[in-house]
Amino acid sequence: MDKILKLIELWGSEGWIEFSPHSLERINDRSIVRELIPDTIKSAEEELGDGKVNQDFVIINTFANITIAGTFEKPDKIVIKTVVNKGENFIPKENDIVIKLS
């Protein structure tokens, strides 16, 4: 499965969200609505701050009952690593930025 890019406005400028092949498989396997991912990232914009390159993050969205794990690959590009459909049960890595939307 190929990766997919999505243009999004964050922090006053345009950037890209890239869905990794693994994340697309998980989205399909778990019947997650793909548009929830950019919406969730946009909702966490302030908490994410200005992402540093190679900084991993986890956004737990209890409204949509999903968790997104991603990384800032470039200042204007976020790569989604995986998406989980039971937000509360995801265990982030120690250095991840963790944001809970509830």
Q: How do residues 63-88 score in pLDDT, each as one tens digit?
A: 899 999 999 999 889 999 999 987 66
Q: Kind of pairing, strands 13-19 and 4-10?
A: antiparallel
Average pLDDT value for residue range 1-14: 76
User: In angstroms, rounded to a whole number, what is the distance separating the alpha carbons of residues 87 and 57?
Assistant: 14
3-state secondary structure of 55: coil
> Cβ atoms within 10 A of the Cβ of 75, count?
12
Does pTM surpass 0.75? yes
Q: How do residues 10-66 score in pLDDT, each as one tens digit?
A: 878 888 999 999 999 999 999 999 999 999 999 998 888 877 889 999 999 988 999
Q: What are phi and psi of 33, to 5 degrees?
A: -75, 120
Q: Which domains does the chain carry?
A: 4-101 (3.30.2310)
